[in-house]
Each structure stands twice: as C-alpha cells, then as structure tokens.
Chain A
Amino acid sequence: MGAFALLFVLVLYWRTQTAARWGPFDVQSLAIDALPLCFAACGQAIVILSGGIDLSVGSMMSLVNVVSARALLHLSFRDALLVSLLIVAGAALVGAFTGLLIVVTRVADIIVTLAMLFVLGGAALAVLEVPGGGAPIRYQNLVTLDTLATKWAPSAIGVLLGAYVVLWVPVRRTRVGLSLYAIGSSRSAAYLAGVNVPRSRIVAYAYSGAFAALGGLALTAASGLGDPNSGTIYTLNSVAAVVLGGVSLLGGVGGLIGPIAAAFVLTLVKTLMILKGVDQNWAQVIQGALIVLVVMIGGLAVRQKGKGS
C-alpha cells in the first residue's frame, strides 16, 4: 500500500540525514512521537469507514490527558494500569453517547462532534487550567523507554499493536464489524438488508472514544504532563492520516493498518523538517500543504475509480 511505501522511503532518507549513528534510540523516539497520532488515526478510521466523521477526537485526547495526569499522579504502576483501563472504558461510553446524540437528534455528525469538541475541550479546561499533574515513572517508561525482546522494538509499538489486536481484529470480520463497513458503504442498502443502523453508528463512535482515550494516555505517558490543549492538533492530523492511509472519506473502504503507517509518515515528515533546521512555523505550513496535497491526490484516485463504474 502507498503509505507503507512512503514510510519505507522516508525511513531510508532519515537514515542518511542523521549524523553518524542512526540506531534504536531514533526508532524509539519516532515511536513515542507517533503513538498518539496512531491511536487517533485508528479511532478516526473506524468512524470514517462507517460513513461518519469525528471532530472531537482532539478534545477527547486533551480531556483524557488532563484527567489521567491528575488521577495517575500518585498511583502505583499496577493501579495506574487499572485506572487507565477504566478511563478507556469511560471514554468509550462518552463516545457512545456522542453516537447516541447523532442518532437521536438527527443532526449531522459534523455538527454534533463539533459541539462535543467544545464541550470536551471545556471539560479539559475545567480539570486542569494550566499544564500540570503527572504519572508514575514506570508507567511513562512503558511508552518512552521499554523495549520488547530486542532494543529495536519499542514497547510503544507493542502497546499499539496490542490495542489493535484486542480491540479491532476480533471484530472486523464479524457481523458487528461488517455492519460498520455496510453503513459506510450504503446506509440505505444496509438498512433495507436489516442492519441495525443506529446501533452500528453508536458502536463506531464508541470505538473512536476508546482509541482517542488511548491516544490521550499516550500523551500523558510520553510527556509526563497534563495539558488541556495537548490534543488540539490531532483532529486534523487524524483525518489526514486516515485519508493518506487509504480509507475513503466516503466510507465503506479501508482498514486500520494503512492509517497507522500514515501516522508514522506524517510524524516522520515533521521530524525530518526539524532535523533540517526548518523553522517550526514553516514546518506547520508545509505540513498543512502536504495534507491538502495528499487529500487532493486521494480525491483524484476516488474519481478515477468512480469513472469505471
């Protein structure tokens, strides 16, 4: 798939750009950097392939970030893990509630998730007005320091793959999973075929909430801090990663692996620019332009496919 090819090329380029020893440390830092976006992209991908969109992803991440930074601060490693699980479950419920609102009020998902962006963002500010809090060191190390088996495999990636395998893989070929694709592909056909459309939509947004929570926890672990604005940029970037990863904005097509690879690509691009000494603001401009370009090409590809039918 395109995203993987791009990733491969960029990694090669990366190696040539860093001084002398490119090694496990670099892989580790890329993994840490990319992890939040990977999770955000997973959640967004599920919502988009079910025909919706979630603009509240970033705010949910911020909220979970500040909540966990306050809650985990004085806990033991084991307790921190347990509380994290609770937080993810809670976020899934909030996501489901968003889905419920969309179904019941019949307001477009853009508007509802936009409103939730406000509400969750405000909640984040209520929990922590300025950056603060923290997390147990061992918890942070899970993402920032630990490795699995070899020092080339950061445990951050392990966590990511673990979430993927536990949350998505068992579901995607079952009736529940196929229903998500179905409502994204043709909501009317799915309804007439007997799919429970409202329930499927709610499930999609519950997934988004859960993955966004994982992203927020990743932010906490990576930075050791809670910041009510930490998640803002992830909304746009998650949509970009999803599109770059081969998921059609029209719904019904795509998976999660592509967006994960694309998240790595986007993160790597930023890293490379900083490495080359590009001013941070120019980096932002370039990233914005890149996103637009990516979607333009993606859009043309959709049009080509459409022409065949």
Chain B
Amino acid sequence: MKVQRLAEDNPAAVLTVVFILLFVATDIVNRAQGDGAFLTLKQISTTFLYAAVLGLMSAGQTLVMLTGGVDLSVATTATAGAFTVSRFGTHGSGTAIVLALAVGLAIGLVNGIGIGVFRVNALIMTLGISTITLGYLTVAAQKQFTALVPNFVVTLGSERFLTYIPYDLLVWAPVAAVIILGLRYAGLGRAIYAVGDNPVASRLGGIRVWQVLLVVYALCGALSAVAGILLVGFNNAADLGIGSPFLLPSVAAVVIGGTSIFGGLGGYAGTILGALILTVLDSLLTILNASQAVRQMIYGTIVLALAAIYARATAGAE
C-alpha cells in the first residue's frame, strides 16, 4: 500500500503528522464540549510538560530495546526515585536528587548484572526486580518519616518560565540531545546497535557484551529515577502508584517510534514523537471523559495499530 511505503521511507514525518492530527482532533472535541480551544500555546506547553516524564522513561527503554531487551522495572524505579526525594527532601534538594539518582543507578546495575552477567531473560529479571522494589517501598512507606518535596524539585517538575516553556524541558532536552548524538556518533552507540543486531558477531568482534548491557540497564535505571524526580515535583507528593501508569506507555512509545523490539534498529528521535503522541492521546481520552476501562482498551488498540505499521518497515526484506 502506498501509505505503508510512505511510512517506511519517512517514519519521522508520519509520526509528526499523527501527532498534529491528534492535537487537532483533541481541539475539535474540546470545542464541541464547550470547553474552548485546545490548540493553544498553553496546551502545547502543557503537553510537553506532561510528556517529559514519559519521554525520559522511554529514553532508557529505547536504549534497552536497542540491545534486544526490555525493562519492565522503569515504573517502580521511577517510584523509588520519587520516594527517595520525598524521604530525604528535608536534607535539601541537592542531597535528595543525588540520592534518588543513586537509587535508580543501583537498581539499573542490578538489572544489568542479572541480564548481562547471569544471562537471565530481561523480561523476567526486570519484572522480578520491579516486584522486589515495590515490595520494599511498601514496607518502607509504612515507617515514620517527614515527607517533603523540595521547592527546587517542585519547580522543576511543574512550573514554566517565559510563560510557556516548562522547566522540565531543561532536563529532557539535553538528555535527548546526548542520547541522539551519542547513538549516532559515539563508540558506545555503535556497540549498542551491534549487540542488539547480532550478539554473536559482536562477541567475535571483541565486544564484551556484558559490559554494554550493564551500562545500558544502569543508564535506564538512572533515567527512570530522573523521571521519578520530575514526577514527584509535579505531584508534590510521592505515592506507591506514582510510576505505574507509565510502564506500558514507555514500551509503547518506543515501539511506535519505530525501534524494533528485536534490537539493532531504531533510535530515540522516533521515541520522542511516540511519547508526545501518547501524551496527547491521553489528553484526548481525558477530555472525552472516557472511563478507565475504555481508555485502556483504546490504548491497547492504538499501540497495536501503530506497531503494526512499523512492523512492516522494521521487518525489512523477507
């Protein structure tokens, strides 16, 4: 089909079009409900504000999926990061942030060791780690402590400057730049693609695959923690479920963005668009007052549809 050919040759263009279409659709629905326009600078700005959290979790997920794996612990790691900030907020924002990053990094390292060194299946390892993390957090939450989210974090997570530019873009944009450039122009980027495309050939070429996996999962953990920091700033409080709505969307954003789940093909630029699309979709569903049930069903269907369009492209020649 011609549409499919177009999608294969210009994935970024197609995604951008979908994004704009969704935005326009949301605008139409909003007006129809008498709530005014949606296609405003303010709403665009809000969309980017919301999307940053998903964008950061999906960043880690992109790196992991490029190596042919998946990280189902990003949500609980983000929650852990959020929790750490809230728990140590009384010690100042600097300490709280550093500790949260350390927690994320540590969780990621554990994943990396399990998957890279012990060759545990990534799905199982990260799912197990997420169960452990959540269990631990539940126990820890029952203990007494003063919860405080430092002002700096709140500003970072929820406020804007120059009226329309969210502060969290100051975090997301540089991270995005580093990842996109790194994947293309850094040796580590090449190693990541190599490991995802053909781990056997990579090994014979001298790459220590476990090193690459360790780094990738550690980075993913750290990025999830960053997402958690922004989340807790946005909500001004940490609860145990804070990260969970982002788990499956983080995988979805990567897939929609054109990265193959088998590894070796794709990149972060597509994921960014995927995250934006999903965020607008969420707004649309909220405006439509869709019940949780309907939202979930629509979500699943759309993920599948978009993934199907790209499956043709990433499958390549027969």
A27 CB-CB contact with B under 8 Å: no
Which one of B134, B135, B261, B307 has the highest number of Cβ atoms from chain A below 10 Å of its Cβ?
B135
B296→A106 contact, CB < 8 A = no
B127→A299 contact, CB < 8 A = no
Q: Which residue of A lies closest to B130 (CB)?
A: A288
A285→B121 contact, CB < 8 A = no
Number of contacts between A and B (CB, 8 Å)? 136
B128→A119 contact, CB < 8 A = no
B297→A122 contact, CB < 8 A = yes
Query: B125 touches which one: A118, A126, A292 (CB < 8 A)?
Result: A292
A287→B131 contact, CB < 8 A = yes
Number of contact residues on A: which range applies? Answer: 35 or more
B127→A279 contact, CB < 8 A = no
A288→B296 contact, CB < 8 A = no
Query: A292 touches which one: B129, B293, B307 (CB < 8 A)?
Result: B129
**Alpha-carbon distance A240/B121, docked complex (angstroms):** 11
**Alpha-carbon distance A292/B110, docked complex (angstroms):** 11
B121→A295 contact, CB < 8 A = yes
A122→B294 contact, CB < 8 A = yes
| A289 touching B132 in the complex, CB below 8 Å, given contacts A105-B311, A126-B291 | yes
B118 CB-CB contact with A under 8 Å: yes
B70 CB-CB contact with A under 8 Å: yes
Query: Can you list, as one digit per residue, whether each of A97-133 has a CB less than 8 Å from chain B (1) or not (0)?
Result: 0000100011110111011111101111110010000
| A119 touching B291 in the complex, CB below 8 Å, given contacts A105-B311, A107-B308 | no
A300→B119 contact, CB < 8 A = yes
A150 CB-CB contact with B under 8 Å: no
**Alpha-carbon distance A299/B136, docked complex (angstroms):** 26
| A288 touching B251 in the complex, CB below 8 Å, given contacts A126-B291, A249-B121, A281-B139 | no
**Alpha-carbon distance A115/B70, docked complex (angstroms):** 15
Query: B261 touches which one: A108, A116, A239, A243 (CB < 8 A)?
Result: A108
B167 CB-CB contact with A under 8 Å: no
Q: Which 7 A-B pairs have the closest CB atoms?
A: A118-B300, A122-B296, A288-B131, A285-B135, A125-B293, A122-B297, A292-B128
Name 22 A/B residue pairs within 8 A (Cβ), A-sorted.
Answer: A106-B308, A107-B307, A111-B303, A118-B248, A118-B299, A118-B303, A121-B296, A122-B293, A122-B297, A125-B292, A129-B292, A281-B139, A282-B139, A285-B132, A288-B128, A288-B129, A291-B124, A292-B124, A295-B120, A295-B128, A296-B114, A303-B119
Q: Which residues from chain A sit less than 8 Å from chain B, CB to CB? A: 53, 101, 105-108, 110-112, 114-119, 121-126, 129, 236, 239-240, 243, 249, 279, 281-285, 287-289, 291-292, 295-296, 299-300, 303
